[in-house]
């Protein structure tokens, strides 16, 4: 974990730059854009993700082959992803090739031409991607759960879209979405690597600063709280798959850090989480069980997922609710709270050992807050969390009358 301080500067068109200097042979950089599937209009369902694919299919300077080989020719990598609120184009490479990477990222982000022949092929690729998710019930149930939770709101959109919507997308539609949502004042270029500040400034002025200013003209609308649901859907799966969840806190809510700690204690990645110990280790009912906390700009979603046999799914749900009841009714002891905090801080420290993850995390944080906290500041915020605060959050978020359920069953 680096002890260096990140550097920040802004370009005249509103694009912000964050740079963390580290002593390493590999540099990571990414263009982080505050635009995702929640920014789609109804007729655009799936277009944010489709654009992420199609920007690699040709620009005014390069064909698809030359885009794909530009970084690979020097042993580097280029990739991208789309979420409900962000799109990110990023690259990893040895230190000598920052200019090559930045020029390429700018080319695909701002000079893509969306060749019709390539668009047609990519539609088939994404239909296959959609079908592959349908073959994975643990992935599909998450999408369907959010669809129900955020009914009649774009946050409920499946990121991949639908085959019906995909058929209607063309270059004009993609340019229209990008013109509306790929705004320069909603972009961050993030770099973690052994790069001189003067070199980075020069390259950003050469490439990023030449992009015309495009300021955002819309505001995201927060979703309304939908009625609690208990839904069952028949699926031809070997297992039953259950998802439970409730609305939680958005990214700017002061309770966010405490909710992260509470979720980590309940069903985080550790094998010692309460759900794993009480349901997998004690009873052997499930191989996969976890809880998650999805944080959005103006809302959040806490959920539990598990897969089990059809004849044990009801018992598993009872056991999950029992653990939730414990957190509502009984405050953590001093030792329990200390162990939960120590575990979370350790997980964060290990995650920050990955410079690529650090680059992406810095980009998102800087985009939202115009600053990034040091590891010490993050730890200090965790240390301030009190047991009664966690119990209060558990009583609100884990309340029985707030929990919705979705069950995929095969009988």
| pLDDT tens per residue, range 145-188 | 999 999 999 999 899 999 999 999 999 999 999 999 999 999 99
Least confident of 3-12, 107-116, 249-258: 3-12
> Over pLDDT 70: what percentage of the chain?
99
Q: Evaluate if residue 12 carries a pLDDT over 70.
A: yes
Q: Is 101 exposed, middle or buried (0-12, 13-18, 19+ CB in 10 A)?
A: buried
Instruction: Assess if CATH 3.30.70.20 describes domain 7-210.
Output: no
Q: 29 pairs with which residues across the strands? A: 91, 191
Instruction: Retrieve residue 395's tokens.
Output: 């009583």
Q: What is the mean pLDDT of residues 208-232?
A: 95
Q: What is the mean pLDDT of residues 192-221?
A: 97
Q: In what order do the strands lie in the sheet with 230-234?
A: 230-234, 404-409, 240-248, 300-308, 286-295
Residues 6+ apart with CB under 8 A from 334: 387
Q: 302 pairs with which residues across the strands? A: 246, 293
pLDDT per residue over 307-345, tens digit each?
999 999 999 999 999 999 999 999 999 999 999 999 999
- The whole model's pTM is what? 0.93
Are 139 and 147 spatial neighbours (Cβ–Cβ below 8 Å)?
A: no
Q: Which of 40, 44, 52, 122 is catalytic?
A: 52
Residue-level pLDDT at 410: 84
* Fold entry, domain 230-409: Cytochrome Bc1 Complex; Chain A, domain 1 (3.30.830)
Give the domain ranges of the chain. Answer: 7-210, 230-409
Q: Evaluate if residue 101 carries a pLDDT over 50.
A: yes
Rounded (10°) angle between helices 387-397 and 313-329: 140
52 is catalytic: yes
Q: Evaluate if residue 3 carries a pLDDT over 60.
A: no
Secondary structure class of 59 (helix, strand, coil): strand
Q: 229: closest CA among 244, 250, 248?
A: 244
- The reply to whether domains 7-210 and 230-409 share a CATH topology is yes
pLDDT per residue over 17-68, tens digit each?
999 999 999 999 999 999 999 999 999 999 999 999 999 999 999 999 999 9
Residues 6+ apart with CB under 8 A from 164: none
Q: Evaluate if residue 1 carries a pLDDT over 60.
A: no
pLDDT per residue over 236-283, tens digit each?
888 999 999 999 999 999 999 999 999 999 999 988 999 999 999 999
């Amino acid at each position: 974990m680096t002890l260096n301080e990140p550097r920040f500067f802004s370009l005249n068109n509103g694009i912000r730059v964050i740079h963390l200097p580290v002593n390493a042979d590999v540099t990571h950089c990414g263009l982080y854009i505050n635009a995702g599937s929640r920014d789609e209009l109804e007729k655009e369902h799936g277009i944010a993700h489709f654009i992420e694919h199609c920007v690699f299919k040709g620009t005014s300077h390069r064909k698809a082959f030359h885009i794909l080989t530009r970084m690979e020719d020097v042993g580097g990598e280029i990739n991208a992803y789309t979420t409900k609120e962000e799109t990110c184009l990023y690259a990893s490479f040895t230190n000598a090739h920052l200019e090559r990477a930045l020029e390429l990222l700018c080319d695909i982000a701002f000079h893509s031409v969306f060749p019709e022949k390539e668009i047609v092929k990519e539609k088939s690729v994404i239909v296959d991607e959609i079908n592959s998710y349908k073959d994975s019930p643990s992935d599909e149930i998450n999408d369907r759960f959010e669809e129900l939770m955020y009914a009649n709101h774009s946050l409920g959109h499946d990121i991949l879209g639908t085959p019906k919507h995909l058929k209607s997308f063309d270059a004009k539609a993609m340019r229209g979405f990008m013109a509306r949502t790929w705004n320069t004042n909603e972009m961050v270029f993030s770099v973690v690597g052994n790069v001189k500040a003067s070199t980075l400034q020069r390259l950003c002025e050469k490439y990023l600063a030449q992009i015309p200013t495009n300021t955002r003209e819309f505001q995201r609308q927060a979703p309304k709280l939908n009625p609690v649901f208990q839904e069952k859907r028949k699926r031809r799966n070997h297992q039953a798959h259950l998802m439970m969840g409730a609305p939680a806190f958005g990214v700017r809510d002061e309770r966010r850090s405490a909710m992260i700690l509470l979720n980590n204690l309940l069903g985080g990645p550790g094998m010692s989480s309460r759900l794993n110990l009480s349901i997998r280790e004690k009873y052997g009912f499930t191989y996969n069980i976890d809880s998650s906390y999805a944080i959005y700009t103006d809302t959040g979603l806490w959920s539990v997922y598990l897969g089990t046999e059809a004849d044990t799914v009801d018992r598993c749900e009872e056991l999950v609710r029992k653990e939730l009841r414990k957190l509502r009714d009984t405050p953590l002891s001093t030792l329990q709270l200390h162990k939960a905090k120590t575990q979370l801080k350790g997980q964060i420290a290990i995650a920050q050992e990955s410079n690529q993850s650090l680059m992406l995390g810095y980009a998102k944080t800087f985009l939202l807050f115009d600053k990034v906290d040091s590891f010490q500041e993050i730890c200090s915020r965790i240390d301030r969390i009190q047991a009664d605060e966690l119990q209060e959050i558990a009583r609100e978020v884990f309340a029985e009358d707030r929990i919705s359920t979705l069950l995929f069953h095969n009988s």
